[in-house]
Amino acid sequence: MDRFRQLLGNHETFSVPKVIHSLTSKQVLTSELVYGVPLDQLASADENIRNWTAGSLLRLTLEELFHYQFMQTDPNWSNFFYNESLKKACTTCNKQCMFSSLKHYY
């Protein structure tokens, strides 16, 4: 998650919460609190928000594949949050995500 945060550090659309290593163990991942609505709950949101979110996710996917060569492949949309006040989508990871769904491509 630190690597993903580093890659998206100044991203205009996405942010990744900081891991609090002093409170993290092999079984528990502790990070900054992320505010927002899980993306899987945006189905009834305004069409402009849905279009912005879908376009942003597509751009991020292409950036991950071709620019960063590092991809967050977690299929759980509840790990992504839309924050309307920041006009940003935030991504979080659970402990499983740290080991299985962050892929580096060479």
Q: Which positions are catalytic?
A: 74
Decide: 11 and 59 in contact? Cβ < 8 Å: no
Quick one: how far is CA 43 from the chain centroid? Answer: 18
If 0-12 CB within 10 Å is exposed, 13-18 middle and 19+ buried, where does residue 91 land?
A: buried
